[in-house]
Structure 1
Amino acid sequence: MKTKNIFLKCSAVFLLIVASCSNEPEIDNATMLDGDQIFDASLYNLENYLVSKAIDNPSTNQKNTPVVIAVHGYSASTFEWDEFRNYSDLNATILISQVLLGGHGRTYESFKNSTWQDWQEPIMTEYNALKTKGYTNINFAGSSTACALMLDLIKTNKIADNGMKHIFLIDPIVIPSDKSLTLIGLVGPMLGYFESTNTTTEDKYYYRFKPQETLKELLNLTNKVRKDLQEGFNLPQNTQLKVYKSTKDDVADAVSAVLLYKGLKNNDGSKIAIQMIDSKLHVVTRLDGRDTITEKDREIQKQVFDNMILMLSQ
């Protein structure tokens, strides 16, 4: 979620923006994900994205091969995990299910009318489909809001004992960097939506316009996960989790990693693994489409991918 000045810091700014914005955005249907043109191929070519759809009758070898359910963040699409799939195709023997969150990848109205429970549902749908087909080595990789959705599934015991072998959380959002998200209930109805600063490429794979209704859902989700972590809970048995968190991130505050470290434990009560990354990017596992990328960014991404692949092989 890449958003510039999405929230307002003072009442004077509120009034200026209210005066200049309508409650409905002007959407370019030909170039924006928000429009009625479908850019996310997972909506019409499921077999290229979901392992459960790609393999009708998995062999014993396929059932034992690591399957990664890779899930994007709020306002994004399956594009967010393309680079991991491409890298894995060249460097690993794993299967990847790129899951599109509910309400995402479709029109602005579909996104606007979705709840965080809707976002979460396709994760469980693919997980259950893989379990039904007999896959024994199911894993999860999530970025940003997908991490919060997975944490809720763990807390509510929907991912039961021995459910997933490895869980990778990339820049999990528990505490937003922009604390004025808490004001969305006040200013959201006045504005209707907030506009992101996307590149031309990002416009096809990330919503430019964020309906205030979905930001309320995001706030509800992160508040729930924060409270769950403050109470504390454990991972399922035989599940290992690792967090990769950028030290400077304009979307997910680094405090999110602290809350995870304090509130989430392995099944035996030991500490989870957290790696702080010297990066200013939110979700360094996705570099394509950004304005400026450095060699350092590419090296960090490679290190994260290599580490994930190594852990999947164990």
Structure 2
Amino acid sequence: MKRLCIYLLLTSMLLAACNKSPVIDDVTMLDGNQIFDASLNHPENYLASSYLANPTENQLNTPVIIASHGYSASTFEWDELRVFADKNKGFYVSQVLLGGHGRTYQEFKDATWKDWQQSIKDEYEKLSKMGFKKIYLAGSSTSGALLLNLIKSNFFSSYTKPKGIFLIDPIVLPSNKSLTMIGLLGPVLGFTTSELEEGEKGYWYVYRPQESLKQLLAVIDLTRRDLEDGFSLPQDTYLKVYKSIKDETAEPVSALLIYKGLKTSKGANIDVEMVESNLHVFTRLKGRSNVSSTDEALQLKTFTEMRNKMLE
């Protein structure tokens, strides 16, 4: 017991000695003040509400999907869906940058999960008021929790009801259990560091402030509790969950919790597909160094299924 106490004391002293603010001096890092998400300066290249600012009747009847990314990521996460849409036609993609993301470390640090969510709400409201009749949503990772919260809070009751929602590796339970300790260790650590591959630099935050990790934990905990209580989709809204069976970020059981806690407006079960992948957000392959033909086939299959559903 005495040794354990000494170990804990030494560990606490070591943690206390850590620098609580990262040194950001690499111009290739998203965390600094040199690189910003391109959608901030050129929304007309990302948001359907901008590049379709004066829609024709035909465009208003064409499906549009609002695609939102995960925690600490950027619009880059859905670039491949945009490429797929441009090639195969039939629907528009609106790539939303979560609030507080794609900017400096300090702005990321200061943003709440409701700030993250606000940009999704803003784009949905705009498209609905513009008269788009077939609005879909796609959320990867943390955006899965943000979209589930919009459903639970009845956000869509004031607007055109979404035709469908696709969740890619939504996180309800984290695979890394240390996240649950952020309330205790966060103030001591200040931030954590994530390892990025070369092709991911400039599109994800290297440093994750403890304040943002607390926000992440807060929204997924809230989502889990809401699913335990149970709630339903808006009328005639379709939803499908795609979940990797091996995921170092989001526990595969997250899909089961969504399946058990969320029903259609008529009380039926939602669709869930457990996919053979060990990638978190398997629909994003750009920037990853080890991508197999199986990964590419799975991405194409998923995008094709999403497109087919939108064109029904």
TM-score by length of 2: 0.94
Shift of the alpha carbon at 1:291? 2.5
**SS of corresponding position for 2:201:** helix
- Describe the superposition over 1:177-223 as per-residue Cα deviations: whole angstroms up to 9, x where unpaired: 11221100111110100000101221200001000000000000001
Partner of 2:3: none
In structure 2, what is the Cα distance between the partners aligned to 1:136 and 1:162? 7
Cα distance change on mapping 1:199 and 1:174 into 2, 3 Å = same
> What letter corresponds to residue 106 of structure 1 in structure 2?
R
Correspondence list, 1:1-314, <5 A? 14-15=11-12, 18=15, 21-160=18-157, 163-314=161-312
**SS of corresponding position for 2:198:** coil
Is the 8 Å Cα contact of residues 162 and 237 (structure 1) preserved in structure 2? no
Shift of the alpha carbon at 1:26? 1.7
Is the 8 Å Cα contact of residues 194 and 209 (structure 1) preserved in structure 2? yes
Aligned length: 305
Q: Mark the structure with the bigger radius of gyration.
A: 2
In structure 2, what is the Cα distance between the partners aligned to 1:203 and 1:12? 36
> What letter corresponds to residue 41 of structure 2 in structure 1?
Y
In structure 1, what is the Cα distance between the partners aligned to 2:8 and 2:57? 62
* More displaced 10-residue stretch of structure 1: 280-289 or 89-98: 89-98
Shift of the alpha carbon at 1:88? 1.4
In structure 1, what is the Cα distance between the partners aligned to 2:170 and 2:13? 33
In structure 2, what is the Cα distance between the partners aligned to 1:56 and 1:107? 29
Instruction: Give 5+ residue unaligned stretches, structure 2.
Output: 1-6
Partner of 1:4: none
Shift of the alpha carbon at 1:91? 1.3
> What letter corresponds to residue 162 of structure 2 in structure 1?
M
Cα distance change on mapping 1:84 and 1:12 into 2, 3 Å = farther
In structure 2, what is the Cα distance between the partners aligned to 1:151 and 1:293? 30
Q: Where do 4+ consecutive residues of structure 1 move more than 6 Å?
A: none
> What letter corresponds to residue 47 of structure 1 in structure 2?
E
Cα distance change on mapping 1:293 and 1:52 into 2, 3 Å = same
Cα distance change on mapping 1:16 and 1:250 into 2, 3 Å = farther
> What letter corresponds to residue 288 of structure 1 in structure 2?
K
Shift of the alpha carbon at 1:12? 8.5
Shift of the alpha carbon at 1:229? 0.2
Instruction: Give 5+ residue unaligned stretches, structure 1.
Output: 1-9
- Describe the superposition over 1:32-51 as per-residue Cα deviations: whole angstroms up to 9, x where unpaired: 00010133110000111111
TM-score by length of 1: 0.94
RMSD (CA atoms): 1.6
Shift of the alpha carbon at 1:163? 1.3
Cα distance change on mapping 1:41 and 1:20 into 2, 3 Å = same
Percentage identity across paired residues of the two chains: 52
Shift of the alpha carbon at 1:56? 2.4
Partner of 1:5: none
- Describe the superposition over 1:69-123 as per-residue Cα deviations: whole angstroms up to 9, x where unpaired: 0000000000000011101111132111100000000000000000000000000
> What letter corresponds to residue 304 of structure 1 in structure 2?
T
**SS of corresponding position for 1:245:** strand
* More displaced 10-residue stretch of structure 1: 11-20 or 78-87: 11-20
> What letter corresponds to residue 221 of structure 1 in structure 2?
V
* More displaced 10-residue stretch of structure 1: 26-35 or 148-157: 26-35
In structure 1, what is the Cα distance between the partners aligned to 2:223 and 2:10? 30
Shift of the alpha carbon at 1:139? 0.4
- Describe the superposition over 1:6-28 as per-residue Cα deviations: whole angstroms up to 9, x where unpaired: xxxx9589548626631111213
Is the 8 Å Cα contact of residues 162 and 238 (structure 1) preserved in structure 2? no
**SS of corresponding position for 1:70:** strand
In structure 2, what is the Cα distance between the partners aligned to 1:234 and 1:141? 18
